[in-house]
Amino acid sequence: MTGPRFTAVLFDLDGTLTDPRIGITRSYQHALASVGTVVDDPDELTWMIGPPLKANLTAAGVRGADVDTAAAAYYDRHWTVGVYEATVIPGVPELLADLHAAGTRLGLATGKVTDQGHVTLDHFGLAPWFEVVVGADLDRGRVEKDDIVRHALDELGSPPVDRCAMVGDRRFDIEGAQEVGLTSIGVTWGYAQPGELAAASPDLVATTVDELRAFLLGL
């Protein structure tokens, strides 16, 4: 192997590096209950894994000032409990180590707020592989995935976009990559709804971590 296929690779977090189902769905269940919406089975909320928080709450029927109330309730539970209820996707730590060893620069581009990205990577031992961690920043209006991707690339020193890839499990990751000009790679082990990834037309689709390794390292 003469070198990595990509100079830099950005990864989504939830559904891509980790399986956050329990923590996220129960935190949304708690958030909705705080404004009077009872969801008996948190697994009914898996569609909320990936999109922005307030967009999810609005889609769930929360309106007006209740959006901020529910968002605060979500963060209260997720910060203290939910973030630690995730599990790492098998094979991901080894993949990150292989990419790092090959000289690929790695960044996290997550829809979570940046501090939650740091906490998650630290907790699961993934932080050493990442040069930058960039998430949503509501105060600066950085909510959409393309803005998050752009900021992550800026933090990496603006490497050529034609040598960069974005890996994620939802259409938001694919669309964010496409907006910025990165190679878009969808992974099928996350939380995309039926037909979602195909409709987003990623450049590549990985069905296993080993397949993703082959794509990223040009094996």
Burial call 131-166: b when 16+ CB within 10 Å, e when fewer: ebbbbbeeeeebbbbbbbbbbbbeebeeeebeebbb
Cα(100)–Cα(104) distance, integer angstroms: 5
Catalytic residue, candidates 12, 19, 169, 173: 12
Helix (H) or strand (E) holding 183: strand 183-187
What is d(CA 88, CA 128) in angstroms, rounded to the nearest whole number?
15
Closest CA to 1 of 164, 211, 219, 216: 219
Active site residue 41: no
**Separation in Å, CA 14 to CA 88, 144, 151, 177:** 10, 15, 19, 16
For 53, the 3-state DSSP assignment is helix
Bridge partners of residue 184, in order along the sequence: 166
Using the Cα atoms of residue 23, residue 26, residue 31 and residue 32 in order, give the sign of their dihedral.
Answer: positive
The Cα 176–Cα 110 span in angstroms is 11
Catalytic residues: 12
